[in-house]
Chain A
Amino acid sequence: MWALAAAALIGLVAGVLAGLFGVGGGILFVPTLTLVLGLTQLHAEASSLLAILPTSIAGAWRQRRYGNVRWRPALVLGLAAVAGVEAGVQIAEALPEHVLRRLFGVLMLAVAVQLAWRALRKPSYAS
């Protein structure tokens, strides 16, 4: 029960952080699902993809109003992704749990470095 409440609270915070820093929710959902709810890395990655859906739909809906979304390219990307997704699922299923977890750790580090680099490159306005 407490774990569920904690996961929901962290989900809310993860959403705020995702919106605030312009990163997808997945990078935060996967560790929440493993570290707080005790899912395996594979189950967490699978479930994270489902958890991303409401956030990305809401985000795309907001952007649509500004006319920034180019729907045809988005559709082509999504359809082409089917084959890539199938390969990714096969690889994730074949990899041992600890390897998958470490790969994800490396990805998180890369995202952290990218964010820091972007922040340092931009001049700091109002603090």
Chain B
Amino acid sequence: MLRLVCIGLVAGLFSALFGVGGGIVVVPLLILLAHFDERPAMATSLAAIGLIALVGAVSYGVHGELKVGAAAVVGLPAAAGAVGGAWLQQRLATRTLTLAFAALLAAIAVWLLV
């Protein structure tokens, strides 16, 4: 219980600071600290991220930083896309594709950094 609270605190801080769900910290922490198996860790983190993102959005909304229209323009098509992506994962997730995606992320990161 105490461990879950600590993970939640860290995840909330991370999520709000970066505007991401925080799965990258929640999944490993659930596995390492709370002794979850990988699959339940990923599924539980998804549910927790929904809550964390909701709390974050409300908090930023109170601070007046939220652009609801922009969020909808990107977020609603993404929800449809994610269903397709999960379907594709069974069929074409390969090492080459994952490496290509990692390279794409690194390229955007470099763009942001320079």
Contacts and interface: CB of A to CB of B under 8 A. Distances in A.
The answer to whether A and B interact is yes
Interface of A: 4, 7-27, 29-33, 35, 37, 39, 42-60, 62-64, 66, 68-71, 73-89, 91-93, 101-116, 118-120, 122, 124-127
Interface of B: 1, 4-24, 26, 30, 34, 36, 39-40, 42-57, 59-61, 63, 65-68, 70-89, 92-99, 101-103, 105-106, 108-113
Interface of B is mostly: helix
B48 to A, nearest CB: 4
A68 to B, nearest CB: 3
Interface of A is mostly: helix
Nearest to A29: B74
**Top 4 nearest A-B pairs by Cβ distance?**
A19-B85, A15-B81, A84-B12, A45-B19
Nearest to A51: B75
B112 A102 contact: yes
A11 B43 contact: no
Contacts of A111: 24, 105
A91 B78 CA distance: 28
A39 B66 CA distance: 10
A4 B82 CA distance: 19
